[in-house]
């Protein structure tokens, strides 16, 4: 049984063609492994990938210094950022960007249990579709199952985090300075919803990276 589980875990994220080769070579796989065994091996691999990537994002600079997921400013604030830098206020602009990413790092700490619950809910049909699906099948499943719960969890945490790291004070200062510039379009931007969605995108993007790594790199498979 232990060998069977290891076999499924090792094969969890293989592409369709490679998986079909294994099935062709091992026609007895259906008699060796039950549906429960297959699902259990996949869930174990998914949980390992989630833990590895989500943990990275919760660390200080997990978002801010990771160019793949770093949260940049929305379009209406990019002009503000550029004007602040042109006026010699780069430090203030940098701080405004940093506190947005700090809030995301804070929120993601609460994300792991939501993903774990999604994996627990997985049926055998879900597992089979992921196993034989494309390179992002597992990520797509998690996105479909967790998006509503993630938003509900992340949004209030980001609001609280903005208060904790002083984001509201920083952005009030930034917006006040922007609005004091002659002939400039005044803004009143609420970053909470924007940051919540970007934090969710970042988590799923890193899980997709892990999924691709497991599918294509033998050394990444448990």
Mean pLDDT along residues 145-151? 92
Summarised one tens digit per residue, pLDDT across range 42-93 is: 788 788 888 888 889 999 999 999 999 999 887 777 777 787 788 787 887 7
Reported as a pLDDT band with limits 50, 70 and 90, residue 25 is very low
Report whether pLDDT(30) > 50.
no
pLDDT at 98 over 50: yes
Would you state the pLDDT for residue 91? 83
Using alpha carbons, select from 91, 46, 42, 97 the residue that is nearest to residue 70. Answer: 97
pLDDT of residue 129: 86
For residue 145, the model assigns a pLDDT of 92
Q: What is the mean pLDDT of the chain?
A: 76
Residue 41 has what pLDDT?
76
0.85 exceeded by the pTM?
no
**Three-class secondary structure of residue 66 per DSSP:** coil
Task: List pLDDT tens digits, range 197-215.
Answer: 999 999 999 988 888 887 7
| Tens-place pLDDT, residues 156-173 | 988 888 887 677 677 777
Q: What percent of the chain has pLDDT over 90?
A: 21
Return the higher-pLDDT residue of 179 and 4: 179
Place of tokens 């984001």: 167
Closest to 108 measured CA to CA, from 140, 137, 71:
71
Nearest to 12 by CA among 140, 143, 128: 128
Can you read off the two tokens belonging to residue 172? 């009030």
Residue 144 CA, chain-centre distance (Å), reads 13
- Of residues 168 and 4, more confidence is placed in 168
Q: What digits encode the pLDDT tens for the residues 186-200?
A: 555 667 888 899 999
Of residues 111 and 31, more confidence is placed in: 111
Q: Quick one: pLDDT band at residue 100, thresholds 50, 70, 90?
A: confident
- Per-residue confidence band for 40, with pLDDT thresholds at 50, 70 and 90: confident
Q: Say if residues 46 and 119 touch (Cβ distance below 8 Å).
A: yes
Task: Give the C-alpha distances (Å, rounded to integers) separating 87 from 7, 92, 137, 177.
Answer: 60, 11, 47, 10
- Residue 75: CB atoms within 10 A of its CB come to 7
């Amino acid at each position: 049984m232990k060998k069977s589980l290891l076999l499924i875990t090792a094969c969890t994220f293989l592409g369709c063609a490679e998986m079909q080769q294994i099935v062709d070579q091992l026609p007895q796989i259906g008699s060796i492994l039950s549906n429960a065994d297959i699902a259990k091996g996949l869930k174990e691999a998914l949980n390992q990938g989630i833990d590895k990537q989500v943990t990275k994002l919760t660390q200080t600079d997990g978002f801010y210094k990771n160019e793949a997921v770093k949260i940049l400013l929305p379009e209406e604030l990019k002009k503000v950022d550029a004007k602040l830098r042109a006026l010699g206020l780069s430090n203030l602009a940098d701080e405004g960007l940093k506190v947005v990413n700090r809030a995301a790092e804070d929120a993601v700490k609460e994300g792991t249990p939501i993903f774990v619950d999604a994996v627990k809910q997985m049926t055998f049909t879900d597992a089979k579709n992921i196993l034989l699906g494309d390179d992002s099948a597992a990520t797509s499943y998690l996105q479909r199952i967790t998006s509503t719960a993630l938003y509900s969890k992340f949004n209030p945490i980001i609001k609280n985090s903005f208060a904790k790291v002083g984001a509201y004070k920083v952005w009030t200062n930034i917006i006040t300075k922007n609005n004091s510039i002659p002939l400039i379009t005044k803004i009143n931007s609420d970053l909470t919803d924007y940051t919540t969605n970007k934090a969710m995108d970042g988590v799923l993007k890193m899980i997709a990276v892990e999924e691709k790594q497991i599918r294509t790199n033998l050394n990444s498979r448990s």
